[in-house]
Structure formats: structure tokens, C-alpha cells
Amino acid sequence: MVDIATRVHNHKWKIDPIVRSLIDTDFYKLLMCQSVFHNKPDTQVSFSLINRTKTIRLAELIDEGELREQLDHIRTLRLSRGESTWLRGNTFYGKRQMFSPDFMQWFENLQLPPYHLEKRDGQYELTFEGNWPEVMLWEIPALAVLMELRSRAVLQQMGKFELQVLYARAMTKLWEKVERLRGIDTLRIADFGTRRRHSFLWQDWCVQAMLEGLGDKFVGTSNCLIAMRREVEAIGTNAHELPMVYSALAETDAELAQAPYQVLADWQREHEGNLRIILPDTYGTEGFLRNAPDWLTGWTGIRIDSGDPAEGAETAIRWWKERGEDPREKLVIFSDGLDADKIVDLHSRFAGRVKVSFGWGTLMTNDFRGLVTDDALAPFSLVCKAVSANGRPTVKLSDNPNKAMGPADEITRYKRVFGVGEQERLEVVV
Amino acid sequence: MVDIATRVHNHKWKIDPIVRSLIDTDFYKLLMCQSVFHNKPDTQVSFSLINRTKTIRLAELIDEGELREQLDHIRTLRLSRGESTWLRGNTFYGKRQMFSPDFMQWFENLQLPPYHLEKRDGQYELTFEGNWPEVMLWEIPALAVLMELRSRAVLQQMGKFELQVLYARAMTKLWEKVERLRGIDTLRIADFGTRRRHSFLWQDWCVQAMLEGLGDKFVGTSNCLIAMRREVEAIGTNAHELPMVYSALAETDAELAQAPYQVLADWQREHEGNLRIILPDTYGTEGFLRNAPDWLTGWTGIRIDSGDPAEGAETAIRWWKERGEDPREKLVIFSDGLDADKIVDLHSRFAGRVKVSFGWGTLMTNDFRGLVTDDALAPFSLVCKAVSANGRPTVKLSDNPNKAMGPADEITRYKRVFGVGEQERLEVVV
């Protein structure tokens, strides 16, 4: 029997919306948003799309009208009653009422602010300006929309069975990784792949496959909507945007040197336990740890998000030992450019020496490499970053100069202030 | 929206029937059935299931009650009006009214005769007895039911995502073969995989994939139901059961020696063109061709169904040349144990020397080798054969002694009458 009503209803949609919920975003964006809402609500920021993979000319692949329709659709979204209930009532990281009533009330009334879009040199310039708590929530949906529109542009050319076989191959590929990872006894792994996913439905499938294939070893997803629907943990802590904006706001070099620690001081007031995770690489891990105040050594762990991950973990272990901490009690979260092989290697190298956990991103939710001609579905390196705060440019150095951003003179200044010397250049895959 | 009516309706089925139509069978069974209906309608035959793969203990895998329910369901089937219209009105092999009104009237009133089922030594003994035209129509549905119940028994143990990945892998596997075959310019290939398919839905998927992937190179399917629904050609000519039964009916050695030619004399009265295909191996290809009457050299082609296929084709080419025919005008149909590699090899060896065509069976519709633990879904060699006619045993020698059947003393007699000497033993995979 054909369900005529469903079919007729489906044809009434003007578009097939990619992002259908304000909580189809990363959990850490909401944690950070609340922190910003309480600590820096009036900061004026600007976020910009940056396509690091220049060979992919997004403005030639993706129709501007379709992009606008998707972004406009996101601006029509409001937090639904069920979503609000879940955020208010759910236990996150073992804590009830993670989100305060004043923040929830603000979120329930939120509409995402306007965007600015134009084409330049085959790329889209997409920027968002306004109050930090509002603007920051554009990052993930904007990336997800662009990634999925690019997927759709390629899929558009394919026949019905080609499509079926494409997804069959992608499923097989992920499942082989799951079978590989299943062999690691003490694995703890989470989905961090929302921002550069192939599509929403594909991410949702991947999460379910991880859940069935890995059981308890799969600890959750960064995606709030999927966490809610699939009844798994929402995972995430904080990101570079906090130190980047705090640093841009610093009035003097002395304030700048302290800004990254100020971020964590604010964070510590709000969060404990597994939410106290240091992200040390914004202006170089070595210097950050060397100059860190003693109270930071008590934090639960560290997230390694750039540079050589094994080296980063060794640096953290050395630091804990120097400060009299037992690394075996500390958590190291790897989250940069992971795939099954790297996960297996890193786990075997560090398990037992520290507590190890993985935030698996793009190569979990978008490993379509090698599946179509010209590799037209291979993931690429698209980000959406805070580029200025109260009119001043932001800077990121990270542990890989290929991931650095900001004006050249400001980069020089930040390197001086944070004592960053020569850095190894590593290819940024995704 | 959930379609409540569909869901409630689906729950009313007592079983999930495997064979749902009397034309979910091979086209050549209907062609032969009509021939028998006209030439030998009262012959009493007995068909038996034979599992050549003794290691697969079907009676331990498949529940007897479920098997009976499936077979009983087949006995409730009648030719539907639409099916009858298609058989009466469709063009087969370029001919209208392939099926005569008297045959169609008989078919429209047909109910398949009772079956006899018991367990012995971990296998099922399944036999069908009665008038040849009725009994013969049990062969394909009986095989399809046993094959699919065996698949279901294995699938029963698997989780939802394991199942999805299993089919993803099987799809990928078939599609890789399709992509391989697509490269052959003058390919002509048909689906011959009904009898040993993984399941009906899987065969139907495979046919659609071949259609999308190969276009005109895919010339059709032996399955009438799928041919009707997917609007492709129904393909097939004749099989060993005709010479086997005709031979069993022979009163003397002299009549026996002529029986295989008598089959084709009867066939020639009914069919022309691409339906005049010699199946020469029932009692050894060499002797069959050596002693063949001259009118057979005028036939369109030959089907190679046992022995080394390249050798069989070379034998046919030599024979045509000896008889003054141009092999380039003749059709060779390969149909035994084919897979993509073998198809590519045979095509490159014979294209240009003869017209080449392929009837691809089990490794098209049931290549689940290597996809689950213990290879529990690998296809195996199950057949359902005419074992006696009017009380006398049938015999098959073929060009591979591993495919021979019949009582030992009768095999000896047939070998003498047909002048069959030493034969090479070849492994029967499927």
C-alpha cells in the first residue's frame, strides 16, 4: 500500500532542509554558549567560513539560491518544547540542570541572527556578526549545510542503483572500521563528526552502527539532536573559540598572556569532573603548559587537537609528572584527524599510561574517499571560525602552522607573547 | 507518518511466503512444460531433491514445519489474471502467442500436485510424483524455497545493523562484478539464477542492478515474474529433463540412442530461431555431436552446461566446421558455474569466433561467499531432478562425472549405448 498522505505531504516541502533543529549542533557549543552568556554576553563577534581546501570551488558546486534557502530555513528554527525539556531535564556528564534557567529562557527565544553571503573567486564568503552567544551557534549548522549541499551536488549526477551501491560501500567501509575497533578492550570513543558530516541521515546511521557494533565502548555523540533521539550521551567540553575571543579582547600583552588561563578559570567556576578538559594548543601546547597556573594540574584531562598526537600526549604526560600528578589518573582525549588505524596505534601506545578517549570526527561521518570518480565526495577541510571580537582580529597558532589563522603582524605578536618558536608543518586532511 | 493499515495488514500474514506466484519460475520450464503437455502429457514422473553438498545438513538448519508451510503455500497458488494475460499476450523471442490456448487453459486451472517430505540423515527427502507437466513445475519453487529458508535460518541470528552491512557488502560485491562486465563491448548476459538465489527480493535487486549497470548488455532474466514486473525479456530454452525422461521411456538400446535426438525433433516442430539451442551434454557432448542427424547442424546454437566450458565450445566449433557450418553465425551460451572472471575469460577467447552469450546463475543471485562467519551463507549445490519416468530410473552422465546421476548399472548401460569413455572430474561449486 502506498501511503498517499505521506507522499503528498512530502511534495509540499519547498526544500529538503538539512538542519531541522537548533540542537542539531555540537554539545560543546551549548556549554560554551552558556559560559559566554554568563561571562561575556555583549561581546560583538564575527564568524567566517574558511575553506582550507582551495581546490574545491564551493561556489561553483553549490547553487547560491539553494544555499540561501537552507540558511534561511535555519533562521526559522526555534527550540522546540521537547528539545527544551531534554536540555532542562537530562543528565549531562552525571549532572542534572547543566543548563541554568536564565540561559534556557534565552535559548527558547533565540532566532539565529542574519548572515552575510557573497561569492568571491569560486568560494563563498559567509559571515555572521553580532552578540557572541547568538553568532557562535551558527558555526555547526553553517558547516553542516555546506558539506551536505556539496554532497548533494555530486549525488545529483548519480543513478538510483549507483546511489544504493555508493551507500552500500560507505556502510561496508565504516563497518570494517567498527569491527577493527571492536577488538580494543578498553576503548572509549565518541562521535565528533557533526560539522563535516556527509549528511545528517548518514551521521545518524553511523551513530547507530557504532552503537550496535561497539556497545559500551561507544560513549556518545557530540550531536545533541542525535543524542536525544538515540538516547546516548551528549559529549564535548570546550573549543578554541573561547581563548581566541578572550585573547582578542585583551588590552595589553600581559593580559593577552593570561587570557587562555582566564578562559579556564571561568570554566572551572561552572564545571567539574570530566568537563574540566584542557585544550592547550591554541597558542602552542608547550608554552601553555609551561606557564600554566598550578590549579590547572588538578583538571581531569587534556584534549589533543593539532600537531603530532603522540607527541602531544607525551608532552602532557611529562607535564603532569613534573607537577607531581599521576598521569594514569588523567584523561587524554585525541580528536584531530583520527581514523581507525591511528586510533588503534594511539590506544596501544597510551592505554595504561593515561586514560585514553577518542573524539572521532570527519573520517567517521564522512569517509566517502575513493567511492566516486575524481574522489568528488572526499571530505575536505572546511571551518567556521571567530575572526574578530569587538573589532579586533582573533588569532590561532595551534601546534601546526597549517592550522594557524589571523593577520600576519598579530601572529608575530602572539608568537612572541606565548613564546612559540619553530613548529612542524603537518598536512591538514580534514 | 506510520502507515498503520499496512503495518496491521503485514501482521496478519501467518508466514512470509517465499514463492508468491506460479510464474516465479524459469521461463524454460514453461516452454518445456508446453512441449511435454503436447507430446508426453500422461508420462508419470518422479522428481527428487538432491543436495550434492552433503556437509550442509538442511534438515538441521531448516524447521520442517516452516518448510511445509512454504510448500503448502505454493499449492494454494493459481495463475493470476495478469500473469495469464502476460503469458498469452507478451512477445517471447520475437514471437507472439508462444503459448497455445489449450496449454494456457490447462495452466490457468493448474494446482501443483502434493509433495512427499521426510527427514533422513540430516537431509530432507522431498519428492513429487504424478503427471509430468504438473510435477515438473515443482522444481524451481522447491529449490527457491529451500535456498531461501536456509538463508533465513542464518539471517535469523543477526542484528539489524549486521544485516544492513551484510546486504551492503553483497551489493558492493555484485556491483563490482557489474563494473567489470561493463567493460566488455559485445557482452550479452542473462540472469539464470532463480533456482539457487539467496532470496526472491535479492534476485529482484540483482536484476535491477544488472539492468541499470549493463543496459542493453543485460538481455533478460529466466525468471518470468521478474521479467514481467521489470519489463525485461524472459530467457531460456530447454534442459536435461527432456532427454532424461525421453531416454528412460526408451524400450530398447536402439531407441535409447535416438531418444536425445527425438527430444530435439519434437522441439523443432514447435520452435525456431534463438529457441533452437542444443543442450548436448546429457550423455556426453562428444558422442552426441558425432552421431547427431544433419538437421541439427542448422540449429542456432549450443548451450555448454558441464565439463570444461572452453573445451566444450571448441568441440562445438570443430563440429560445425566439420559439418560445413560457419561457427561465426552460431551462438554459444555458457551457463555452468559462471562468475565475472570466467565470463571475461570466455568472452575474450570466443568473441568473434562464435556469437557468445552467458546465462549467469548462482554467483549472480547468491554470491554471499565470505560475508558471514563459517561462510554459512555460501551457496551450495542443490538440485531437483526427474529421477524416474513411468517407473524406470532416469540417468544423466553430463561432461563431468561429479554431476552424473542414476543407478550404477543403468549408468554403465548408458555409457555403452552413448559411447562415453573416460571423463575428467571437475569440482561442482554451485
Chain A residues with CB within 8 Å of chain B CB:
1, 3, 5-6, 9, 159-162, 164-165, 167-169, 171-172, 175, 208-209, 212-213
ipTM of this complex prediction, to 2 decimal places:
0.83
Per-residue pLDDT, B13: 82
**DSSP summary character for residue A234:** B
The string of pLDDT tens digits covering residues B145-180 is 999 999 999 999 998 889 999 999 999 999 999 999
Q: Which residues of A touch B12 (CB under 8 A)?
A: none
Q: Which of B5, B162, B168 is opposite residue A1, by nearest beta carbon? A: B5
- Terminal alpha carbon distance of chain A: 44
> Which residue from B minimizes the CA distance to A176?
B165
Mean pLDDT of A327-350: 97
- Test A6 with B6 for CB contact under 8 angstroms: no
Per-residue pLDDT, A38: 96
Mean pLDDT of A330-334: 98
Per-residue pLDDT, A423: 87
Q: Where are the beta strands (DSSP E) in B132-225?
A: 189-191, 218-221
Per-residue pLDDT, B425: 87
Q: Which residues of B touch A161 (CB under 8 A)?
A: 175, 208-209, 212-213
- What number of residues does chain B have? 430
The string of pLDDT tens digits covering residues A53-72 is 999 999 999 999 999 999 99
Mean pLDDT of A24-44: 97
Q: Which residues of A touch B175 (CB under 8 A)?
A: 161, 165, 168
Per-residue pLDDT, A238: 95
Burial state string for B261-289 with b = 16 or more CB within 10 A and e = fewer than 16: bbbbebbeeebeebbbbbbbbbbbbbbbb
User: Strand A218-221 vs strand B382-389: parallel, antiparallel, or unpaired?
Assistant: unpaired
Per-residue pLDDT, B14: 84
Per-residue pLDDT, A5: 78
Q: Is B313 strand, coil or helix?
A: helix
Residues 6+ apart with CB under 8 A from A348: none
Residue A2, pLDDT above cutoff 80: no
The string of pLDDT tens digits covering residues A242-279 is 999 999 999 999 999 999 999 999 999 999 999 999 99
Q: Pick out chain B residues at pLDDT < 70.
A: 1
Mean pLDDT of A38-45: 97
Q: Which of A5, A171, A213 is opposite residue B168, by nearest beta carbon? A: A171
The crossing angle, in degrees rounded to 10, of helices A309-322 and A340-350 is 20
- Test A1 with B6 for CB contact under 8 angstroms: yes
- Test A161 with B208 for CB contact under 8 angstroms: yes
Q: Which of B3, B167, B209 is opposite residue A3, by nearest beta carbon? A: B3
Ramachandran assignment for A393, one of left (phi > 0), alpha (psi -120 to 50 degrees), beta (any other)? beta
Mean pLDDT of A35-46: 97
Q: Is residue A65 exposed (0-12), middle (13-18) or buried (19+ Cβ within 10 Å)?
A: exposed
B168: distance to nearest CA of chain A, Å? 4
pLDDT-wise least confident of A155-164, A185-194, B1-10, B213-222:
B1-10
Taken in order of first residue, the domains within chain B and their CATH numbers are: 4-418 (3.20.140.10)
- Phi and psi dihedrals of B171, rounded to 5? -60, -50
B185: distance to nearest CA of chain A, Å? 20
| DSSP-H helix ranges across A17-100 | 27-39, 58-61, 64-76, 81-89
Work out the pLDDT band at A293, boundaries 50, 70, 90: very high
pLDDT greater at residue A15 or residue A144: A144
Q: What is the spatial distance between Cα B102 and Cα B397, in angstroms, rounded to a whole number?
A: 35
Q: If you write DSSP's letter for every residue of B335-386 in order, what string do you get? A: -SS--HHHHHHHHHHHBTTBEEEEEE-HHHH---TTSSGGGTT----EEEEE
Instruction: Calculate the alpha carbon distances from B51 to A41, B8, B86, B428 in Å.
Output: 76, 38, 34, 12
Q: What is the spatial distance between Cα A140 and Cα A147, in angstroms, rounded to a whole number?
A: 11
The string of pLDDT tens digits covering residues A217-233 is 999 999 999 999 999 99
| DSSP-H helix ranges across B49-124 | 58-61, 64-76, 81-89, 101-108
Per-residue pLDDT, B3: 77
Nearest to A62 by CA among A5, A164, A132, A143: A143
Is residue A27 within 8 A of residue A224, CB to CB? The reply is yes
Residue A1, pLDDT above cutoff 80: no
B211: distance to nearest CA of chain A, Å? 10
Per-residue pLDDT, B268: 96
Residues 6+ apart with CB under 8 A from B104: B84, B87, B88
Q: Which residues of B touch A1 (CB under 8 A)?
A: 3, 5-6, 9
